A and B are shown apart, each in its own frame.
Chain A
Amino acid sequence: MRKLGWLLAVAVALGGSTAAAFPWMVKHDYQSCAVCHVDPSGAGQLTPYGRAQSDVLLRWRIKKPTADEAQEPSPTTRFLWFIDLPEVVNLSGNFRGGAMIPVGGAPRPLFMAADLYGTVKVDRFVFHASSGLGLRNVGPAAILPQCGGDKPCNAQWVAREFWAGATFADEAVMVRAGRMFVPFGLRNNEHFMWVRDTTNTDTNLDQQVGVSASYNGEKLRGEVMGLLGNYQLGPDAYRERGYSAFAEYTVLSKLYLGLSSLIAVSQADLLLQLPQVRHAHGVTMRWSPLEPLALLAEVDFLAWQQPTRLDRLGFAALVQADFEVMQGLHLIGSVEGQHTGSQERGPSVGGWVSAAWYVLPHVEVRLDAILRRTARPAPDPATVGFTLLGQLHFFL
């Protein structure tokens, strides 16, 4: 029953979108994520510089200011819109809620994230933790109470990240240990897209405990993480051990190509309770051919090896175009596909049309229209679903 609990948890979390991660910042020639995010590979809490850039580059403006008109970031970029914190302390929060409206079904309110982040940086040493509240089985990110399946619970204490690290070589290198995002693929905002979901690398639920070393240089960035398992998931047989890694290289100005690789071994997978070796290996691209446009792509080869079954082979793929109509208003088109090797008749395919509007300091309004044809193991026919997802996001 526990596995059903996790499946339910994942289903509930489908509506969620995690803390902001913007691979389309390639438009502004930001290859390195570590400048704006506490996590050296991006996503999650912003640094003070990132908070300022969120106001300067993200916030909606009817008319883009010229250099002469450019204003300093609004004082509201501070924590809780107005609090100045000491330099060594960085506090922020991430609150996201909304509604999922499946066509032909009843609208469902979503409480996606209510997390507080804290970071203390003393000299080269960085200590980071997040803590929050989750509703209705938030799955592998929850600490207490344990629930799922026949033990549902309404509220849970969630801790997605807690790690300690040290930086070296003018902050180009960071070594960390703790619970953190798994370095793999595009760290895109839509965490339940198939490239994130089938590789178990979304930044909402799939953090793992491990040790990692990251590098952010002028042309190359990357991270290698030794996976020690998700200790908020039990018993130990479910925990995956192995590695995950990615590297991204600047081929040309505003054109970045990346490689990712992950191999994780567990004594029991959540569905069949069989020992499993899970592979994901892929390539990524981020490219901004024109200033308002960013193109993102990821293709991953997937394999699941289990001793008493034939290996399953599959893939997950995403192509996304982000067009900034005016500063702070993004129209996003995405096409995705996947095959899990589970005797589906053909791949699953999906299309997204989304609008993200950074309407006020620290406030995002987002609407996604998602059409998916989801292939199912034979003889079941594929299902087609159309869903509207509306979100309101505050990042304090």
Chain B
Amino acid sequence: MRLFSVRAVLTSSLLLAGVALAGWTKTGDGVASFKGVGPAGFKIEGKTRSVDVKDDGKTLTVVVGLKDLETGIDLRDKHMRDKYLEVEKFPEATLAIPHDEIKWPDEGKSGEGSGKGTFSVHGKSKEISFKYKITNSGGTFAIEGEAPVNFKEHDVNVPSYMGITVKPDITVFAKFNAKKG
């Protein structure tokens, strides 16, 4: 009886732990990007497919790897990675979102909304507002969102090159699929 009780307690604990860990995970490919503008119609877009999702049961965190960020011009990629984002020291950007900031649509439905989360890049974190759109297809949730970010608030030097200076206010985007369980 005593043995049974110990087993039962262990089993229950593992099950409970399993439920707690069985949060949101990314499925399939994802993409994250940023868009900045400068003088005289200048624009810059950086993109990476290094997107992941982590969930600790309370907070959903979108993790973007910056080491593979591409802007369409190799030298500019190098500048962005080494000079501005310093990706060797700060390899990721993250957006941590409390679960209750997102409304998940029912099966076969889509929903849009906005919320607040903590955006971290270059070793600095700041609360930001974001907008999202989610579509639930058979339990797989297609998620896309965007948020305004200011480089200066994260101690990132504003990219400037040969007289062209990018404005510190940029927009970051992410698009990926996620599943619960």
Instruction: Mark A residues whose CB is within 8 Å of B.
Output: 28-29, 31-32, 34-35, 40, 47-49, 51-52, 56-57, 64-73, 87, 167, 170-172, 216-218, 221, 253
Contact = CB atoms under 8 A, between A and B. Distances in A.
B41 interface: yes
Main secondary structure of the interface of B (DSSP, over half): mixed
A214 B51 CA distance: 40
Nearest to A174: B40
Contacts of B42: 32, 35
B78 interface: yes
Given A48-B163, A67-B78, A70-B78, A57 B40 contact: no
A253 B162 CA distance: 25
B40 A70 contact: no
Contact of B41 (A28, A31, A47, A51): A31
A167 B42 CA distance: 15
Contact of B75 (A56, A216, A217, A221): A56
Contacts of B73: 28, 56-57
Contacts of B74: 56, 64-67, 69-70
Contacts of B43: 29, 31-32, 218
Contacts, number: 70
A35 B75 contact: no
Nearest to B75: A70
A218 B40 contact: no
B40 A34 contact: yes
A69 B39 CA distance: 28
Nearest to A254: B72
A254 to B, nearest CB: 10
A218 B37 contact: yes
B40 A171 contact: yes
Given A28-B73, A57-B73, A221 B164 contact: no
Given A170-B39, A172-B41, A216-B41, A47 B77 contact: no
Q: Which 4 A-B pairs have the closest CB atoms?
A: A32-B41, A216-B41, A34-B40, A171-B39
B39 A49 contact: no
Contacts of A47: 162-163
A72 B82 CA distance: 13
Contacts of A70: 74-75, 77-78
Given A49-B162, A70-B77, 14 more contacts: A28-B73, A29-B43, A32-B42, A32-B43, A35-B39, A35-B164, A47-B163, A52-B162, A65-B74, A70-B78, A73-B75, A171-B39, A218-B41, A221-B41
Contacts of A56: 73-75
Contacts of A221: 41
A172 B42 CA distance: 9
B4 interface: no
Interface in B33-67: 37-43, 45
A176 to B, nearest CB: 14
B81 interface: yes
Contacts of A71: 75
B40 A29 contact: no
Interface in B163-181: 163-164
Given A218-B37, A218-B41, A68 B162 contact: no
Given A32-B40, A32-B41, A67-B78, A49 B72 contact: no
A48 B78 contact: no
Contacts of A57: 73
Contacts of A253: 45
Contacts of A28: 72-73
A52 B45 CA distance: 19
Contacts of A218: 37, 41, 43
Q: Which of B38, B42, B45, B73 has the most CB of A within 10 A?
A: B42
Nearest to A66: B74
A67 B40 contact: no
